[in-house]
Amino acid sequence: MTFNPFASATDMLRAMQKKEISSVELLESHLRRIELHNPTLNSIVTLDVEAALRAAKQADDALARGDHHELTGLPLTIKDCIDVHGLIGTGGVEQFAHRVPDDDSRLAARVRAAGGVIMGKTNVPPNAADWQSDNPIFGRTNNPWNLGCSPGGSTGGGAAALAAGLTPLEFGSDIGGSIRIPAAFCGVFGHKPSETAIPRSGHFPGSPHPNAAAVMCVQGPLARTVGDLELAFDVVSGPDVGEDAAWNLAVPPPRHDHLAAFRVAILPTIPWLPVDDEITATVENLAAELSKAGAQIKIIQPDGFGDLRRHHELYCCLLSVWSSINSSESRKQHLAENMRKSDEFGEFYARGLLASASEYLVWHAEREDLRRSFREFFSEWDVMLAPNNIVPPFPHTKAPWPDRWLNVNGHRVQYGLQNVYPAVATLSGQPATAFPVSLNDSGLPVGLQAIGPYLEDRTTIRFAALIESEFGGFHPPPGY
CATH no. for 9-245:
3.90.1300.10
State which amino acid sits at residue 441: D
CATH superfamily of 260-471: Amidase signature (AS) domain (3.90.1300.10)
Mean pLDDT of 183-199: 98
Q: Which pLDDT does position 7 carry in this prediction?
A: 98
Note the pTM of the prediction, 2 decimals. Answer: 0.98
In this predicted structure, the answer to whether residue 340 has a pLDDT above a threshold of 80 is: yes
Rounded Cα distance between 183 and 172, Å, is 11
Q: What is the CA radius of gyration of the chain?
A: 21
In this predicted structure, the answer to whether residue 140 has a pLDDT above a threshold of 90 is: yes
Mean pLDDT of 363-377: 98
Provide the pLDDT confidence category of residue 323 given band limits of 50, 70 and 90: confident
Lowest-pLDDT choice from 182-191, 339-348, 368-377: 339-348
Q: Which pLDDT does position 402 carry in this prediction?
A: 86
Which DSSP string do the residues of 344-412 spell out, in sequence order?
TTHHHHHHHHT--HHHHHHHHHHHHHHHHHHHHHTTT-SEEEEES-SSSS-B---S-GGG-EEEETTEE
- Give the C-alpha distances (Å, rounded to integers) separating 120 from 89, 116, 125, 158: 10, 12, 17, 10
Return the SS3 of 165. coil
Return the SS3 of 43. coil
Provide the pLDDT confidence category of residue 301 given band limits of 50, 70 and 90: very high
Give the distance from CA 380 to its chain's centroid: 27
Give the H/E segment covering residue 119.
strand 117-122
The backbone torsions φ and ψ at residue 427, rounded to the nearest 5 degrees and listed phi first, read -55, -40
- The tens digit of pLDDT for each residue in 58-93 reads 999 999 999 999 999 999 999 999 999 999 999 999
In this predicted structure, the answer to whether residue 342 has a pLDDT above a threshold of 80 is: no
Mean pLDDT of 322-330: 83
In this predicted structure, the answer to whether residue 1 has a pLDDT above a threshold of 80 is: no
- The tens digit of pLDDT for each residue in 270-300 reads 999 999 999 999 999 999 999 999 999 999 9
Q: Which pLDDT does position 300 carry in this prediction?
A: 98
- Report helix angle 457-471 to 226-236, nearest 10: 160
In this predicted structure, the answer to whether residue 413 has a pLDDT above a threshold of 90 is: yes
CB 171 within 8 A of CB 220: yes
Mean pLDDT for the chain overall = 96
Rounded Cα distance between 3 and 7, Å, is 8
Provide the pLDDT confidence category of residue 334 given band limits of 50, 70 and 90: confident
Provide the pLDDT confidence category of residue 322 given band limits of 50, 70 and 90: confident
Q: Which pLDDT does position 336 carry in this prediction?
A: 83
Provide the pLDDT confidence category of residue 328 given band limits of 50, 70 and 90: confident
Q: Name residue 135's beta-bridge partners.
A: 139
Q: Which pLDDT does position 339 carry in this prediction?
A: 83
Q: According to CATH, where is 3.90.1300.10 located in the chain?
A: 9-245, 260-471
- Give the C-alpha distances (Å, rounded to integers) separating 405 from 90, 121, 142: 28, 30, 19
Mean pLDDT of 401-411: 94
